[in-house]
Each structure stands twice: as structure tokens, then as C-alpha cells.
Structure 1
Amino acid sequence: MLSHSLQYLVFVIAVFALYWAVHRQYWARMAVLLVASTYFYAVFTPFPLLIFLVGVTVDHLLVKGMARVRSQGARKALVTLSVVSNLGLLAGFKYLELLRQTAVSLLAPLGVEVRTEPFSLLLPVGLSFYVFQAISYTVDVYRGKASAEHSFFEHLLYMLFFPRVVSGPIVRASELMAHFREVPSLTAEQGGHALFRIAVGLVKKLVIADVLGSGIVDPVFGAPEKYASAECIVAAVAYTFELYYDFSGYSDIAIGVAALFGFKFPENFNRPYLAKNIGEFWNRWHMSLSTWLRDYLYRPLGGNRVSKPRVLFNLMTVMVLGGLWHGADWRFAVWGAVHGVALGISRCWEWWVGKPESPGIPRVAVGMLATFTIVVLTRVVFRAADMTHAGEFYARMMAGVPGIANVSPLVWGMLAAAVFFHAVPMKLYTVSSELFVRMPVPVRAVALVLLGLGIRHLSAVETRPYVYLQF
């Protein structure tokens, strides 16, 4: 049940009605959300629910143990066990096959016997987001930034809350679980803003992202040798915008749906393609992941508090591991490593010349263009089936084959819309949301119906899953 489907809309309406009918009773509203979240995930695939149930049980016992023991060494042992068990879960389901394939490639030619049969383990949907959120809670309890007094059912709902369970954003305990015992409230104005946010997410996903994906990205990346060089470049740029509008659209829907139940999720994107350098890009892109990597990996490695060579090592380590988080394929590690090198160069430049307090327009423009170019070129590795296919795509881009006839007017229009709506000030969205809220309810209803009809007319016929669903 994808969150841009009609089934999801009906599901949310039903849960919304039940939730607010009993919202003053703690156990009743908790039961509504927990049953709804379990059902939502089971529609995708029920078996991983057992894995998640075991994982939450283990983490909950470890959290309670940290609250009861006074020895710092014992608390450290418990949080380490939690981190290791969660990473072990991720490694077993997501990376075991990659390790087997790598071992076969490296050791089989040397005569070392290696298992040749695939493990064929089914990757649970949303496992990567689950693991990172699980680690954030237990580590925050260890650091004293989160309470260990939550019940098992609160812990379970925190991990399975349906608006974010499939593809994030990664939500800290202080942003969700800490509010479970508060009696929720929802004003008409807050509900209107939530509906507007959901509508924006649907347009991003179903109109801009899906049209770019089906209109140019999929066919060109599927057979780059059939297309001209300029068409390959357009496809790479289009995929860069498809990925943004696809994932930020999902995040908008998740944030809007959570708001309908009285919860505030963190923002996940801040117009990343306007970044003036690669470091700023990562502060604007998938912010819940970037801040997680900063707080739970980069800073524990020493962050900026160590020598300059060690800082560069830390940046590279974080980006390579962050790349592998996206998929069990060494091309993601390559993608992360390139970003790590770019971050290292950017950091060295700052050490050498310092940060300008007010850079001029030419410098800003050059920085934005260079950053966007790096992002587009590395997206090819991200999108290609493998490194060989990525190399073929790069070769076709640089081959100088003329022609651009395969880029349709609709694709050009969507690219223009993608650039425009990405570049406009955020105030435009705020003002638009305010205007929507101030409309009479019948006018709002008509506007949403017309929006739905327009989406149906412009979007792709087939239902395309979210790109980040695979992660």
C-alpha cells in the first residue's frame, strides 16, 4: 500500500476517524495507531514484523537495563550490545549476499572454496530506516537525551508508526515517542496545513517525479547506446530531479499525515540543489540521515575535534558507509567515496582560504554550478545497474553524438517546473498553504478534487513505487 495510492488515502481517513474518536483515552488511541501501523506494514510483507518484534523486544530490555544499572561500564556494554545486534540484523539481511559475491570474486580464483549459491534472503521493507532509528533511541538513552521509562507498546509504535516506517524520515525519540502520552490536539488550521503538505507531496511524486522517470530517465538509462549524448545528459539531470521530487514528495506526505495525528516530524529537505558547496548540499539533502550520520558516526569518530588528516579520514569513512547504507552494492560505496573526496577537498579549501562571510554573486553561482554538476555526475552511479553500465552511460554522454529529438515537450515542461519549484523561495509555499487554509471548506474540497483529476491526467498510468523503497 504505497502512500500515493487511493488505498492509502482510504486507510488514512479510516484511521483518522477512529483515532480522533478515542483520542482522549491513552490506551485506545495507542491501540488504534499500533493496529493500524501493524496492518499497514503487513500489507507490504508480514514476515518481517516478527523480526521487528524480536528486535524491539531485545532493545527494550536493554534500555530498561541501562535505566537500572549504575555502572558506566555495564551501561556501555548494554548499549554496545544494542548497536551490534541492530547492525547485525542489517548486515545479515542486506549485506550478507554482497559479502558472499565479493568473497567469490576475490578468493575463488585463488582456489579457496566459497559458497556459490545465493543466500536468497528477502530484505525487509524499510529495514535500513528501522535500524538507524532503533540505534538512535538506545544511544540517546545511554547519553541521557531520551527517557527509558516508555512502555514496550510505546517503543513498538515508535518503530512501526505507519507514516514513516517504510522510507523515513528517521525520527528521534524526542520527536515522536516523548509525545505519546500527551493528549493530542488538532485545530482546523493545523489540519488544513497538513492536507496542503500532503497535496504538495502527491504533486511532487505523481506529476513531476513520475513523468520525468517514465518520460526520459527509465528509457535512457535502460539503453543509453540508443540515445544521443545530449539526451543522456538530460536524462542524468532529470534523474537528479526525479530522485529529489520522489523522496521529498514521500517526506511531505509522511510529515502531513503525521501532523493529522498531532505529531510533528522533522523536515527532510531544504532545496538541496541550491547548495553552494558539497558540504552545504549534505546539510540540505535527506537531513534526517545526514544528522544521524553526524551525531552517531562522525562525532563518535572524533568529528572536527581531531587532527586535520583524521578529519578527512572521518569524512571519507562516513560517506562510504553512508553510501553502502543505500544499497548492498559496491557502486554505492564508490558513490559515497566520490562525495567523501569532494567533501575533503571542500574542507581543505576552507582551511586554506577560510570561509567568506559574504561571498559575491559570481562566487555563489560558480559554487552552485560546480556542486550541482558533481551531484548530477555521481547520480549516474547511483542509478545505473552496475559500474559497467555506469561507465557505458558516461562514455555515451561524452561521445558527442548529436540529437535531442527523444526529449518530449512534456519532459521539457516537467524539467522547467522542477527547476522553478525548487528555486522559488520557501515563503511561496508558506503563503500558498495559508491561502489554502483560509479557503472555505467547500472550496478546499473542490480544489483537492480538481488537483486529483489533474494528477490523474498528467501522471504516469502505472503506479511507480518510491525510489527509496528499495533502501
Structure 2
Amino acid sequence: MDFIQGLDFSKIGELLLYHRESPMIFSSGLFFLLFLCFLPIYMLLRKRTLLRIIYVTLFSLYFYYKSSGIFFLLLVAGATSDFIIALLMEKTFHRERLRRFFVILSTCINLGVLGYFKYFNFLVDLGGNFLHFIGGWFGIPVLESITVVHFDIFLPVGISFYTFQTMSYVIDVYRGRIKPLHRWIDYIFYVSFFPQLVAGPIVRAIDFIPQIYRRPLVTRSEFGEALFLIVSGLIKKAVISDYISLNFVDRIFDQPLLYHGVENLLGVYGYALQIYCDFSGYSDMAIGIALLLGFRFNINFDTPFQSATITEFWRRWHISLSTWLKDYLYISMGGNRKGRFRTYINLLITMLLGGLWHGAGAKFILWGALHGVALAIHKFTMHLFPRCKAMGKDMKPFWRVMGVIVTFNFVAFVFIPFRADNMLVVQNVLHQIFYDFQPALIPQIIAGYPYVLAMMLLGYIAHFIPKKVDHRIQGAITASPLVLQAFYLLLIVFIVFQIKSADVQPFIYFQF
């Protein structure tokens, strides 16, 4: 009783409320605590389908509240809109024009909401710059003197992910690939399912919905796989990504001119590893947590830096987004069915919009454009040299190694504008690499950043080791007794809390 009286319940209540400066993420201690409380009740409701759906939905909405506050109501409103529209499309199955109107209406609502929260200030900037240009060109002082005002618009976490998810549902209903759900809570469950809610992967309804009604049974093998994914995701995100970010990459990109070319190049390679470990680490944890609950998601990253061509890279990187763009944008524009030139244009438009999906800014458009051009060049090269069509394991070892080196460096350098705060930073980073390289300083750099370089080396070695090594580690975890498995998880959590900074570092893709 004395212990209970000594507890400060006001602090516990404060901890459970939303705080804009510290959204809840998978690598936080609070999430692990809440998840451990959530899991036993979930297991008790395994045979009670409706109660289980309601329970998980409420937990998911609370999880999103802890990430974005009152904007969880926006998610519910958007999901409800698409739920109703899908039912209306089913009732008007034989009226094609009306069904097309409904799918257009859903698309306009979703993109309109996304556009307001994510692109409003960007569009205001574009409009202001255009008016200034017109005013200067035609000598109109009123237009030249217009002041652009930015609005303080909060970007709800994960809005790009769940918007694309609900859009794919409505489009698939329209195309006749799936039947619409008839129970509102089932659809809210699908959209809000907390493992993938705030940073993906983008889960298709055709893959997810059938799993809702199955009794969640997790085999020993699946439990071992889930534990392996959660542990590896924690290591990637909270150990490798956060450490090299705080202790090296952020410093380079904040003041590139203070560092020599070798350090800037290492910063570029460090950021490529950072964003991979950050995003794939989150995906691993999301897939692992979902698997513990009896849901299987498709893989979202497949060792993308082992790709030998840019086309192969996009088959391995952020797979849920790249396949979404292919199925709902690229193919809808005609794909490769309308001639080679149209194929190149479709690729460029798809990647431009893919870049814009990542953020409202010229740097994201540039990033998407460079990838679009690279994909078009690769397609053109394969047309000119049919013998070069071999990809993956079909390539000869020498050419595959050369392809991996070229593709990785292209991807890493194109990440520079993605990471940089502005184009001046991009210019300074490239200037230092190409005009102030100074390789003689490499021994000093190694001595100055031993832990950072060791962490980067560890990350890249882990990325390039054969998959069979991963499978052996996963098999060893699966074969371990439950007590030993719990020890593995506690050990990793202990390491994470020893290495991490005082503040929890949000996932990079939270801002998208």
C-alpha cells in the first residue's frame, strides 16, 4: 500500500497523453510497456473475432493519438468516407459512369486532404514566385510586392501511407479485384492497424482483409521469425542508424564546408546506410509485431544495395510503395504498352510523383526526377543492347559486381538532395568531394571516428552477407528456449538504451 501511495499518478497520466515534441514510436520504452499490456488481452480474445477487432482498433487509434494527437479523428473520417464510397460502388455495380464518379470522388477527397496538410505551403510558394515573375516580366509593381505567408500546418504522422492504403482499397473495389467490407469497424481496423499505420509498409486490402477473420495462431517458427525481425529492426534503427546520424552524418550535412572531401563522401555513404537502416528497421519491427499478432505482411526491403541496376534497386527498395506506384500510376498511364517513348515518359512522371509523395519541395522532385531518368536510360540501354537484359543472378559475376558498385554510388549520391536542407548544401557537399578530397587525411579520419566507422562497417557487412546467414541466425533464435529468447530481446533493449541519445530519435519517414 505504501508503494501505491508513493506513485505519482499525475505523471503517469501525463505520460499517456499526446506530446507533439515526442510522438510514440516502436523503439521507445513506452511502446514496449503498452504492447506488453496489450498482448495478454489480445490473446484472450483470439476466439472472439468481433471483440478482438474492436480491441485492436481502439489500441491502434490510441497509438495514432500518441503519434498525432487529435488528428486520429482525421484518419477515422477519411476511412469512413472511403468505406461509404466503396459500398455505393457495390450498389451501382452496373452503372459504370456512376462508379467512375465515386472512384474519382474518393481520389479527390484523399488527395485534397493530403494536399492541404502536405503541399499547401509549397503551392503557396509556387504561386507567389509565379506572380513575382509575372510582375517583374510585365512591370507590374503590385504583383512584385506580394508577400508570401506560410501557415503553421501540422502534418499528421503517416498521412501519406494510410492515404495510399485507402486509395488502393477503393480502386481495387472499382476494378472488381475485391469486394467491399460491409462492417465499418472492420474497415477502420484495416486502415488503423497500428504496426504499419505511421510509416508503412503500405498493406493492400486484398492481402490483409482475409487475415482479419482468421484465428490468430502463431507457430513456434513464426514466433522465432517475429522475434528475429523485431531484434534486427531495433539494431538497425536504434543502434546503427541513430548512432551514425547523431555522431557523424548530421554534422556533415549541417556544415559540409567544415569537413574535407573524404569526410563528406563518408557522410554520403553514411546517410545511405542511415536511411536504409532507419526505414527497413521500422519495416522489420512492423512486420515482426504484426506476425506476433497473427498477420503476415509482405517484405518491404530486400537488401537493395546489392542491386546491380536501378530497375533492380526499385524492385528491392520500399517495395510496398514502388509496387503501389507501378500498379496504380505507371500501369494506369499505359506502362510500357504504348511504345518506348511513352514508356520513358511514364517512368519519369511516376518517379516525379513518387518524389513529390516524399515531401513538398524541389529537392524531392529532383530526387524523383533523377531516378526517373535513370530508369528510362536503363530501359533504353536494354533495348539497344539486348544481351544486357540479364538481371540479378543471371548476370556474369564481373558485370554484376561492377553494376552493384555503380548503382550503389548513384543511389547514394542522389540521396544528397534528399537529405540536404537546401541546394546550397548539395553544392557544398559535392564541391568538397570533387575539389577538396585530400585522401592523405584518411588515417586521421579513421582515428577521429573509430566508433562511427566501425558502426558503418558493421551495417554494410550485415547488409551484404548472404541471406542464408540470416536464415541460420533466425533458426537459432527459433530453436532457443522461451527464456533464452526473452533474454535476447532484453539484451538488445539494454544495448539500445545504452547507446541511444537522451531523446528518442523519430523515424525518418515519420515526416512523410
| Normalised TM-score (structure 1) | 0.97
Is residue 2:130 matched to residue 1:103? no
> Which residue of 1 is the match for residue 43 of structure 2?
20
> Which residue of 1 is the match for residue 170 of structure 2?
138
> Which residue of 1 is the match for residue 19 of structure 2?
none
Q: What is the SS of the residue equivalent to 1:164?
A: helix
Instruction: State which of 307, 324, 328 in structure 1 corresponds to 2:339.
Output: 307
> Which residue of 1 is the match for residue 496 of structure 2?
455
CA deviation profile, 1:436-458 (whole Å, cap 9, x unmatched): 11111222222322222233333
- In 1, Cα distance between equivalents of 2:383 and 2:146: 47
Is residue 2:211 matched to residue 1:179? yes
How far 1:102 moved relative to its partner? 1.4
Q: 1:114 to 1:263 in 2, by over 3 A?
A: farther
How far 1:460 moved relative to its partner? 3.7
Summarize the alignment of residues 250-269 of structure 1 with structure 2, pairs less than 5 Å apart. Answer: 250-269=282-301
Amino acid at match of 2:429: F
- In 2, Cα distance between equivalents of 1:39 and 1:8: 11
Amino acid at match of 1:361: P
How far 1:364 moved relative to its partner? 1.1
Comparing 188-197 and 209-218, the one that deviates more: 188-197
Is residue 2:48 matched to residue 1:48? no
Structure 1 unpaired stretches of 5+ = none
Comparing 238-247 and 180-189, the one that deviates more: 180-189
Instruction: State which of 67, 72, 75 in structure 1 corresponds to 2:99.
Output: 75
CA deviation profile, 1:165-211 (whole Å, cap 9, x unmatched): 11000000022222212222123332232122101100111111111
Instruction: State which of 85, 93, 102 in structure 2 corresponds to 1:62.
Output: 85
Comparing 42-51 and 15-24, the one that deviates more: 42-51
- In 2, Cα distance between equivalents of 1:46 and 1:337: 34
Does the 8 Å CA contact 1:324/1:332 hold for their aligned counterparts? Answer: yes
Amino acid at match of 1:376: A
> Which residue of 2 is the match for residue 86 of structure 1?
110
- In 2, Cα distance between equivalents of 1:359 and 1:443: 42
Q: 1:234 to 1:28 in 2, by over 3 A?
A: same
Is residue 2:30 matched to residue 1:7? yes
Structure 2 unpaired stretches of 5+ = 1-23
Is residue 2:413 matched to residue 1:390? no
Amino acid at match of 2:453: W
- In 1, Cα distance between equivalents of 2:163 and 2:425: 31
Q: What is the SS of the residue equivalent to 2:435?
A: coil
> Which residue of 1 is the match for residue 4 of structure 2?
none
Amino acid at match of 2:108: V
> Which residue of 1 is the match for residue 407 of structure 2?
371
Is residue 2:385 matched to residue 1:349? no
> Which residue of 2 is the match for residue 159 of structure 1?
191
How far 1:115 moved relative to its partner? 6.1
How far 1:88 moved relative to its partner? 1.0
How far 1:322 moved relative to its partner? 0.2
Instruction: State which of 306, 311, 317 in structure 2 corresponds to 1:285.
Output: 317
How far 1:114 moved relative to its partner? 5.2
- In 2, Cα distance between equivalents of 1:301 and 1:356: 24
> Which residue of 1 is the match for residue 234 of structure 2?
202
Is residue 2:476 matched to residue 1:435? yes
Q: What is the SS of the residue equivalent to 2:202?
A: coil
Comparing 350-359 and 379-388, the one that deviates more: 350-359
Q: What is the SS of the residue equivalent to 1:304?
A: coil
Instruction: State which of 412, 416, 423 in structure 2 corresponds to 1:380.
Output: 416
- In 2, Cα distance between equivalents of 1:52 and 1:401: 49
Is residue 2:67 matched to residue 1:35? no
How far 1:366 moved relative to its partner? 1.5
Does the 8 Å CA contact 2:234/2:492 hold for their aligned counterparts? Answer: no
How far 1:123 moved relative to its partner? 1.0
- In 1, Cα distance between equivalents of 2:466 and 2:120: 44
- In 2, Cα distance between equivalents of 1:150 and 1:350: 47
Q: 1:189 to 1:401 in 2, by over 3 A?
A: closer
CA deviation profile, 1:120-141 (whole Å, cap 9, x unmatched): 2111111100111011100011
Amino acid at match of 2:129: S
Amino acid at match of 1:396: Q
Does the 8 Å CA contact 2:344/2:376 hold for their aligned counterparts? Answer: yes
Amino acid at match of 2:201: P
- In 2, Cα distance between equivalents of 1:44 and 1:445: 27
- In 2, Cα distance between equivalents of 1:451 and 1:120: 39
Does the 8 Å CA contact 2:230/2:285 hold for their aligned counterparts? Answer: yes
Comparing 166-175 and 53-62, the one that deviates more: 53-62
Amino acid at match of 1:409: P
Q: What is the SS of the residue equivalent to 1:398?
A: helix
How far 1:386 moved relative to its partner? 1.3
CA deviation profile, 1:395-431 (whole Å, cap 9, x unmatched): 1222225334355111111111111111111221122
Q: What is the SS of the residue equivalent to 2:180?
A: coil
| Normalised TM-score (structure 2) | 0.89
Larger radius of gyration: 2
> Which residue of 2 is the match for residue 361 of structure 1?
397
Does the 8 Å CA contact 2:352/2:369 hold for their aligned counterparts? Answer: yes
Q: What is the SS of the residue equivalent to 1:332?
A: helix
Q: 1:150 to 1:420 in 2, by over 3 A?
A: farther
Instruction: State which of 313, 318, 322 in structure 1 corresponds to 2:350.
Output: 318
How far 1:96 moved relative to its partner? 1.1
CA deviation profile, 1:270-292 (whole Å, cap 9, x unmatched): 00001111011011000000000
- In 1, Cα distance between equivalents of 2:215 and 2:397: 49
Does the 8 Å CA contact 1:15/1:32 hold for their aligned counterparts? Answer: no
Amino acid at match of 1:77: F
- In 2, Cα distance between equivalents of 1:329 and 1:312: 23
Comparing 378-387 and 177-186, the one that deviates more: 177-186
How far 1:463 moved relative to its partner? 1.7
- In 1, Cα distance between equivalents of 2:27 and 2:258: 32
How far 1:80 moved relative to its partner? 1.3
Amino acid at match of 1:35: L
> Which residue of 2 is the match for residue 217 of structure 1?
249
Does the 8 Å CA contact 2:181/2:187 hold for their aligned counterparts? Answer: no
Does the 8 Å CA contact 1:2/1:8 hold for their aligned counterparts? Answer: yes
- In 1, Cα distance between equivalents of 2:150 and 2:426: 24
Q: What is the SS of the residue equivalent to 1:465?
A: coil
Comparing 147-156 and 59-68, the one that deviates more: 147-156
- In 1, Cα distance between equivalents of 2:120 and 2:102: 25
How far 1:116 moved relative to its partner? 2.1
